[in-house]
A and B are shown apart, each in its own frame.
Chain A
Amino acid sequence: MIRNFILIAVRNLKRNLVFSAINIFGLSLGLACCMLIYLYTLDEVSFDRFHKNGPQLYRISVNLSNPEGKLHQFGYTGMMPGPAFKHSIPDVESYVRYQSEYLTVRNGNELFDQEAAYADETFFQLFSFPLVSGVPEKSLSDPQSVVLSASMAKKYFGSTNAVGKTLELKLGDTFQPYQVSAVMQDAPQNSSIKPQLLLPLKFAPSQNDKHWMNFFLHTFVLLKPGADIAKVETQMNRVFMAEAAEELAANKQNSGMEEKVHYGLQAFESMHLDTVYQADNGLVDASNPMYTYILSGIALLILVVACINFVNLTLGQALKRSREIGIRKAMGSQRSQLVTQFLGEALVLCSIAFLLAVGMVITVLPYFNTLANKALSFSYLLDAKLIFGYGLLLFATALLAGFYPALVLSGFNPVQTLYGKAVLSGRSLLAKGMVVFQFTLATFLIMAVITMYSQFNYLTNYNLGYNDKGVLSVNTERMDKQKLNLFRNELLKNSAIQQVAADQGGFQFSVAHINQGSNIEYNIRYIDEQYFPLFDIPVVKGRNFSSAMTTDTSESVIVNESFVKTAGWKDPIGQEVDFFWRNKKCKVIGVIRDYHFESLTEEMKPQLFTADPEMKFSNVYLRVAPGALGSAQAHLSSVFKSFFPAQAYNPRFKDQENLQAYEAEAKWKTMISMGAVLTIIISCIGLLGLATITAQKRTKEIGIRKVLGASVSGIVSMLTSDFLRMVGLAVLIGFPLAGWAIGQWLQNYPYRIEMKWWMYGLAGLLVMMVAFFTIGWQTLQAARSNPVKSLKSE
């Protein structure tokens, strides 16, 4: 029986090659999308699950609230909690602290900016990172020892056989030799901790930091099996209140700051997808489960659209199959046997589509990986779960696509089918409904794409309030004003470099008192007087820093308009800013116009500029004369090397750096576009199939109408108007849905486009045009056919 069914299925498939191809192609696209997203999801949930101690591992999280009730939540601590908690809480078996760091590596004559991290000796006991060579217990115990990842060992020494070799690392201002104590295997791709260079924390500069209220490193703890999390958390906070009491009291007395800290435990294995306590600050690849939801949603909908094609095309062709059904029933087949047969046929078709989809996935995986910022591959995800998931996907698809047609077909009355009477009346409403659904989704996605492109354009072409074109920046060693001036003068000797300015580099927020005691939080920047002119940032009130005014460095600050607004100052010039934490007061001498110092995904915030020499310059900006980039870079490179022989030279373009802030947007834009294109392709081939069937069914009618004098255009409009009405309805349903969802999405952006009528118009027109051209050709063929032929054959 099974053999018989498969035979029929295969022969049917061959006979209706066009429809089979449409179905298989559509289903394989849908399946491929789902398979990709399933891989993506598997990878997301497999993150950090390879550690032997995994279930007992936790990261200490912090809720920090200041007196105004502003709550900061993050996953890092200072040096103190780890040892203190282990000492006083029996359930805390062990801990490891992990502090990320950037440093310069000298290997021969070459200099490299290198990501590195300090970690406690317990690192290799808590985490399951196997060593290629070396002893786990001793690898992080000696001063000036370093553990390399396998790829770093290859990078610096050409092989993983590097134990005992030395590498020069720059900590502070001097290079020191470090001996490789161990080489570890590269961390798996689904790991939040991906160390490249590991250094012993007990010799780190930060080791003497005894402040509880500094938060800069990760503390991971290993709890005893069966430990009560809530209880441990309570104990942690009790220990903190006791041990940090002095520090808190001192803080309060010095600054009047009364911050509240609450420690918590975050399960290590759920860290990757946590959006509150993110895996950042040296941990990598943090993600958001929302991505999984959105991608899964789109992939499933594409699959549903493809299944709808299957349902509609199978039922559209039901007349062809009806006789077979009648015969089988007359031969004694029961309905359930027929249902099995048709489901079996769907399964055969889906299996072919499935194999095709696997091929597609393998082909597009590298491209998808770049888009999704992943390194997915079957090699490490191929396990029972994946095979089971894919199998389930295959059967679910076959059921989704095959069940309804099987039910309808098997219900045919044998008498009617054997005597050629009409079947399938009243079914068309459902078919139409499904087409409307497909095109509603297509409209929705096209609207989303149009808006995303517009928003992206808007963000990337927005006037930031400063000129970031033609600006090169370069990281230098920390230097004072004097050295900056020497560097600047040397650079300006080449006319390709027009202006040179500097700031302290990095990105810091700070807090001060204004208006006798109230707090203000702002972005702080240490700059020289060339900074505003170089970036074309206008000073709207007061004046810029000036080297002629000696008091500027010690007593003056400049703020932006948002600062003035937040402070509520009518007359900002001469207002006092009290840096209470270092007992220093400054006066505002100028106000600059707001400019977007962060990406446009952030609101404008208060900003404060100082020329206080206690800070050091380490980031230099150059304005390059138009068309003189090559000579400017050459000059910069040679001057840089003579000034900073121990610093890696990595020049960057400010405008490109700014664009990188929208990488996420760019990727999402591409992914949603692909989803939209796939949806519309699958919907259209389905529509093409339906149009073909309709034209076939109405051959006789078309013949009669032509004999009676109907024109080709009349017949085309008769045949297409039905379809276009459905698509039109879909567009009308899609508009409000898309409008609503896109409105929600745009709310995430403080700087955003307005939804314009032309976006609706364009989306609607696009969908209608694509639909029209899809069915137009088929319809024209039918309308042009010679009526003599079609009528004679009847």
Chain B
Amino acid sequence: MIKLKNITKWVNNGNNRVFLLKDINLQFNEGEFISIMGPSGSGKSTLLNVIGMIDDADEGEYHFLDQAVHEMKEKQRALLYKQHIGFVFQAYHLIDELTVYENIETPLLYQNIKSSDRKAMVADMLDRFNIVGKKDLFPNQLSGGQQQLVGIARALIGAPTVILADEPTGNLNSKQGEEIMELFRELNEKDGVTIIQVTHSEKNAAYGNRIIHLLDGRVDHHAMEQYTKTV
């Protein structure tokens, strides 16, 4: 489903070229639950953003559902990821000026869905996550766990095939974190949503059925082998 071939990204710092990603070759299949690990600055978030199409690679090929993303124009790409990709962020990134309801509704506005349909879809989602009573609250009136729940609801509202989660539990306490991870597992197993998460936590990484290690912008095969051995 997702094929990355020699994906390379850099920034120029004076005369030096600093590589954020270097020759990444990866393939993810539909229904997988992937965890990406690695130390700070290893390129995890950058890789996630490239996969999520909100950032460009400088070199390499990227195929999403057999379509060549690296050859697309911005408009086509937006069309593709609007339909297929949902984002969950560490800092939740809800819009402060919008209520829970309106935050969840936002992606639908960009998919030109009719108002009545939107109402029904948001209502379903609120129901599913048990936050109907909170629909008129603003993000700053919610706890971190609740905010992330809204974030996930917002990511799911467009019925994406892939959810990209960047340290979704990073700002949460362990109990809240566990609930969120359980939710991801359920989504993956019951609804067949492909999940790619970036995490620092071994425990959270273990929810996935495959772990990718990054180090200095490269896939760290050594660490992956080590990990596999210990497991």
Contacts and interface: CB of A to CB of B under 8 A. Distances in A.
A and B are interacting partners = yes
Interface of A: 1, 4, 7-8, 11-12, 15, 323-324, 326-335, 337, 414-415, 418-419
A329 B109 contact: no
Interface stretch (B32-40, B64-72, B87-95, B212-220): B87-95
30 contacts: A4-B105, A7-B97, A7-B98, A7-B102, A8-B97, A8-B98, A11-B97, A11-B98, A15-B97, A323-B93, A327-B93, A327-B106, A328-B95, A330-B52, A330-B93, A331-B82, A331-B110, A332-B81, A332-B82, A332-B111, A332-B158, A334-B75, A334-B110, A335-B74, A414-B54, A414-B55, A415-B46, A415-B49, A415-B54, A415-B55
Contact of B95 (A15, A324, A332, A414): A324
Contacts of A12: 97
B107 interface: yes
A7 B138 CA distance: 13
A348 to B, nearest CB: 13
B146 interface: no
A418 B78 CA distance: 17
Nearest to B99: A7
Contacts of B106: 4, 327-328, 331
Contact of A337 (B96, B110, B154): B110
B199 interface: no
A330 to B, nearest CB: 5
B102 A332 contact: no
Nearest to B49: A415
B45 interface: yes
B110 A330 contact: no
A418 B94 CA distance: 11
Given A331-B82, A414-B54, 8 more contacts: A4-B105, A8-B98, A324-B96, A327-B94, A330-B52, A331-B110, A332-B81, A334-B78
A786 to B, nearest CB: 25
A324 B97 contact: yes
A761 B23 CA distance: 66
Nearest to B93: A327
A11 B74 CA distance: 30
A418 B111 contact: no
A8 to B, nearest CB: 5
Nearest to A2: B109
Interface string B147-183: 0000000100010000000000000000000000000
Contacts of B45: 419
Contact of A326 (B74, B75, B93): B93
A739 B102 CA distance: 57
Nearest to B81: A332
Contact of B110 (A332, A414, A418, A419): A332
Contacts of B158: 332
Nearest to A331: B107
A3 to B, nearest CB: 9
A209 to B, nearest CB: 80
Contacts of B102: 4, 7
Nearest to B75: A334
A331 B87 CA distance: 8
Contacts of A11: 97-98
Contacts of A7: 97-98, 102
A326 B102 CA distance: 17
Contacts of B94: 327
A238 B35 CA distance: 102
A301 B114 CA distance: 44
